[in-house]
Chains A and B, each alone.
Chain A
Amino acid sequence: MRLLTHNMLASNVKGVKNGYPLRIEATTVETKTADFNPEFLKRMFPKLEWKAFCEASAALGEKGLPAQVSPETLEDEEFLKAFHHSLLELHVEEGALICPETGRKFPVNKGIPNMLLNEDEC
């Protein structure tokens, strides 16, 4: 699971009001290079929750992302490379995603988060 995906996920257990962002507990993280496409990065940027993304990135050891991003920052090659790396090149292979409100763990195995709710959570 890459951070682009993590940024979209929330805990939707019945009754939960603050199920976002999910905290990452990663036991295995891998780095794999991905196709660098600045247009894609600029297109996806408005769809991200930036603060949650920076926190997730820091949790995986990449702390260099700026808290504020202006239109100029989006044109800066250095920033785009770091953004690309955190967004698409870090893979959480094993671990869990944790609901901030209830502590419910969504396991991640072989890079696949298991978000399926139990029958009493629907």
Chain B
Amino acid sequence: MWYLCYFMHRHLGFRREEVQALADAFGCGSELEWGLPHGGSPDSPFWYINLPSEEHARQIASRSCLVKGIYEVWGEGATLDEMLTACQSFPLEQKTKYFAPEIVFKICIESFGMKIPQKTQMEYIRKLDAKLPFEGKVDLKAPDHRFWLIQAVDPVKNCNVSAIVPPRWYFGREIATGDRSPMPNFELSNRRYIGPTSMDVELAVIMCNMVGARRGRVVYDPFTGTGSILVAAAHFQATTLGSDIDIRVLRDGKTNKAGEQVDVWGNFNQYGLEAPVGLLRFDAHRPPFRAGLEEFLDAIVCDPPYGVRAGGRKSGGRKAVPTPIPDGLREGHIPSTAPYGLPECLYDLLHFASLHLRVQGRLCFWLPCATEVYTETDIPSHPALRLCANSEQILTRRWSRRLITMEKLRPFDHSSPHEVPTIDCPALVAALEGEQENRHDQKASNERSLRDHVMKPDREAKPAKKIPMYRSKNV
């Protein structure tokens, strides 16, 4: 059945991808169909979705943070009257049961583009009332059914929204609403232990939805840091596993302003979430898993280090032949590490995923993107992994990052010499190296590094000229 899928006007490139991934997780992925919004722009929030049942719609929406609601449309039109006429033509057998006197309902007004004053809202309700014979009881606090009048308004401020969303009216029965509660509940500003690399809650939720994290599934983050992505996975009751090469972040944590010692375990305690089944310190380049252990993970979610020379680290010193450590000094020796550039890191990540994910398990990671030189071949690939989604988060005019989701198609083929990742992004590497060079001149220039843009987004910054005005930060 076709429904209206009304999206949040945020993270535009992630919305349908999140819903598709959830549909896959709930078993209706191949039946899901999309219908373009009225006006034809994919950036409009008013998409149409075809799902096998209302129950599927509810399951998907219950986990989505980018779906506002899914509705059975009774009528739509360019004017209120046109919409009301359409409502009257909507098949009677689908409406009558909601007109019955036993029904406890509420009519809600929603607008996209401009706030509608209370007086005008009451006018709309009166007009609806006149045309639709609801006989039931109105309960504003706890209705059994909600009906929505959604108006896409031609905005007064010139932000070109009308270019993507022509003025329109929709009236429909609410099937399901999205769930944005994790955002206030887990917000980073209230979290006990965060670091500069902690993942934004909304994005962590999206990542967990992209991989179908749920109870009984094992989700692993090889670059755990403060555990921010795993907190979202634990919220969805997945069994979590995390590792990092930096023992200070994992084990030691820090002393907060109140003088308390906080660490990664404490983050899970704070919300009453099941702690990770393991937090380990090791090098993602040399994982210490036993030979013969394969296909034991359901999902891998991570934000790998982006740098080329000043980013991630791996084990092994910089010397080709390391200085031997005297026996007496072994215990307590701090291992020397070598730079771990992005291409090598991605190679290891894809190889690890192709070996250790269960079939149909998913890998989801961020890939930095230098917008001027980006091509699709920058995306890593592997014969055993299928690219499911590639969503762009715009950071600045020159930099964005892309959330890449891949699914394991089949078991790892040990007999094939071609069963290796392909990493081919020379222009990206050059751009990242250029970034690193610039950092030495940080004090001189006002140019902010890629890292700064991700960790401390400048909310007052003017959006890049190349992107449309309605795509401000986070859209």
Which residues of A are interface residues toward B (Cβ below 8 A)?
A: 1-2, 4-5, 8-12, 19-21, 34-35, 37, 39-40, 43-44, 47, 49, 88, 105, 109-120, 122
Contacts and interface: CB of A to CB of B under 8 A. Distances in A.
Interface in B311-339: 315-317, 319, 322-325, 330-331, 333, 335-337
A8 B319 CA distance: 31
User: Considering residues A47, A113, A116, A120, which has the most beta carbons from chain B within 10 angstroms of its beta carbon?
Assistant: A116
Interface in B181-228: 215-216, 218
A120 B321 CA distance: 8
9 contacts: A8-B296, A10-B290, A10-B291, A19-B290, A114-B251, A116-B335, A118-B330, A119-B322, A122-B315
Contacts of B263: 110
Chain B interface size, as a band, is 35 or more
B316 A10 contact: no
Given A34-B274, A113-B280, A118 B215 contact: no
Contacts, number: 106
Nearest to A37: B216
Given A119-B335, A119-B336, A112 B283 contact: no
B288 A115 contact: yes
Given A109-B251, A115-B280, A115-B281, 19 more contacts: A1-B278, A1-B280, A2-B277, A5-B278, A8-B296, A10-B291, A12-B287, A19-B290, A20-B290, A40-B239, A110-B251, A110-B263, A112-B251, A112-B279, A115-B282, A116-B282, A119-B322, A120-B322, A122-B316
B241 interface: yes
Given A43-B216, A109-B251, A114-B247, A49 B333 contact: no
B333 A12 contact: no
A4 B278 contact: yes
Contact of A119 (B245, B282, B289, B315): B315
A51 to B, nearest CB: 13
Contacts of A117: 283, 286, 315-316, 335
Contact of A10 (B280, B281, B288): B288
Contacts of B265: 110-111
Contact of B288 (A12, A43, A49): A12
A111 B279 contact: yes
A55 to B, nearest CB: 14
A116 B330 CA distance: 13
Most interface-central of A10, A12, A109, A119 (chain B CB within 10 A): A119
B325 A118 contact: yes
Given A5-B277, A88-B277, A117-B335, A112 B250 contact: yes
Contacts of A10: 288-291
Nearest to B293: A8
Contacts of A20: 290-291
Nearest to B239: A40
Interface centre among A8, A34, A117 (most CB of B within 10 A): A8
Contact of A120 (B288, B325, B331): B325
Contacts of A118: 325, 330, 333, 335
B229 to A, nearest CB: 18
B291 A47 contact: no
Contact of B281 (A8, A19, A114): A114
A105 B218 CA distance: 28
Contacts of B281: 112-116
Interface in B296-319: 296, 315-317, 319
A49 B293 CA distance: 9
Contacts of B325: 118-120
